[in-house]
Amino acid sequence: MQLLDHQFIDNRWVPSRGERRLAVMDPYREEAIAEVTAGHPDDVDDAVAAARRALPAWRALSGSQRASYLERFAEGLSRRRDELTRLSSTNNGKVLAEANIDLDDAIACYRYYAGQARELDQRQGRLVELETSGVEARCYHDPVGVVGLITPWNFPLVTSAWKLAPALAAGCTAVLKPSEVTPLPERVLAEIASEIGLPAGVLNLLFGDGAGIGAPLAAHPGIDKISFTGSNRVGEAVMHAAAERSADVSLELGGKSPIIVMEDADPEQAADWVMAGIYFNAGQICSATSRLLVHKAIAESLYSAIGARIDALTLGDPLSEETDMGPLTSVRQREAVQGYLAVAKQEGLTAVRDASHRRLPPQGYFVAPALFRDVPCDSRLWREEIFGPVLCARSVGSEQEAIELANASDFGLAATVISADRERAHRIGRALQAGSVWINSEQLVLPETGWGGFKRSGIGRELGPWGLAAYLAVKHLVEPT
């Protein structure tokens, strides 16, 4: 069993100051595959000090010089494809096909921000158009400084790429904390950093939990910005810690995203898109379209088509090419989802499919994919993020009703609209309070387009030029001519 009791600080693996150990589980075999340190605040102090020492030289490099390192990160990940996809499946429980998609997304992100770093060189010192005569102003973009990056367990390599790639492109140095639940995939980032000669202290990787690493990192006075992806409860604590020293913060938090299917849609095609939006990664997706709003004219046909597809899903070993859905990532997450299913029983919700329709594998943290119809708007399952393979549905009688119900949520991360009328689909999409809206599609997350949400779904945007801007501070030099 692998023991991860060292931290990657200043390009060296050094023993953690923490004495507690946490088990890293294989969620399918239900056995420990590693132990990881819980970390210690002293580890954070050392990592932040290393990042601060590295900052002046790193920020002084040109964008093109930093881009070369990002390209080599992408190449390093590409070389390890087989190792990383199997490691992700083993540690996270996601099937191999999904692990491959994740790796492709991470590689594309590093390459995209290599291009953004090069473009940054061209933007520095541009003249600002002024109405005032006799004055000249030039605009510069400086890195915000040392950043703390805290990533979740559902998409380890992806979310670390979304944060680390733009941070390094901008000229920031970083302290990265992976989730203690899935630390194994992101460990490779430290190995790649060493292989490509990344200057010491530019990337520091700390293993640990919230008490050992997360909270001390968020509150550290040497951290200029925190970027966090995870639950609203923890995100609010991170924001509070940052607010005490007026530090910059980006938060990507919860979601309860709608998928709207209008009466002119093809039920069979719509069913495929519905399935992709909720059962990918066993429903452990912040953007999961877990609220289905279907026009009553095709509701029965759509429920039937989704039910047939749920029945056809193969649950099992995520390392098997034949598996469609693996287990949930942790026993704690399985218990959380089972708690919602108990609420569904108490509320008397009508199941089109649930555990009574399927025999689960004898091992693994599995939850049967479920679909509940005619779910009341005041149900906890309709209002709260479940983070599992549970879809709640309601029928609607009009476009306007669909929009109103879709927007009646505390969250606004994403949405999907399905209609044969493209103009109508775009009209609905523009009316939705969501950061990303997919039209007649599965969820396509591209490095060029922004990611983030409205309301309680977070603060700021990742990906695209907005992701780079999150790690830059604007400076103007103004002088008389």
Could you read off the pLDDT of 420-463 as tens digits, one per residue? 999 999 999 999 999 999 999 999 999 999 999 999 999 999 99
* Known catalytic residue at 286: yes
pLDDT at res. 4: 86
pLDDT higher than threshold 90 for residue 156: yes
CA distance 225 to 248: 5
Tokens coding 297: 């004219």
Decide if pLDDT at 62 tops 90.
yes
3-state SS, residue 256: coil
- pLDDT level of residue 2 (50, 70, 90 thresholds): confident
Active-site position among 172, 286, 385, 462:
286
Report DSSP letters for 137-153, one per residue.
EEEEEEE--EEEEE--S
What is the mean predicted confidence (pLDDT) over 82-97? 97
CA–CA separation, 15 and 43 (whole Å): 9
In 3D space, the residue among 386, 383, 384 whose CA is nearest the CA of residue 367 turns out to be: 386
Tell me which of 98, 252, 385, 399 is the catalytic residue: 252
Could you tell me the CA-to-CA distances from 452 to 104, 240, 363, 412 in Å, in that order?
20, 20, 36, 9
Contact assessment for residue 202 and residue 51, using Cβ atoms and an 8 Å cutoff: yes
Tokens of 10: 């200043």
Q: How confident is the model at residue 21 (pLDDT cuts 50, 70, 90)?
A: very high
* pLDDT number for residue 387: 98
Q: Is residue 103 within 8 Å of 159, Cβ to Cβ?
A: no
CA geometry: angle 328, 254, 101, nearest 5 deg: 50
State the pLDDT at residue 360.
Answer: 97
Bridge pairing between strands 454-455 and 411-412:
antiparallel
Report the chain's mean pLDDT, rounded to a whole number. 97
Strand 370-373 and strand 390-396: the pairing is parallel
Q: Are 124 and 141 in contact (CB under 8 A)?
A: yes
pTM score of the predicted model:
0.96
pLDDT of residue 1 exceeding 90, the answer is no
Note whether 377 and 399 are within 8 A (CB).
no
Question: Residue 249's beta-bridge partner residues?
Answer: 226
Mean pLDDT in residue range 342-354: 97
Spatial distance between the Cα atoms of 122 and 135, rounded to a whole number of angstroms? 22
Q: Give the up-direction half-sphere exposure of residue 229: CA atoms within 13 A in the CB hemisphere.
A: 29
Tell me the C-alpha to C-alpha distance, in Å, between residue 283 and each of 41, 113, 205, 451. 34, 29, 28, 19
Please state, in angstroms and rounded to a whole number, the distance separating the CA atoms of residues 67 and 351.
51
Six-digit token string for 121: 């060189």
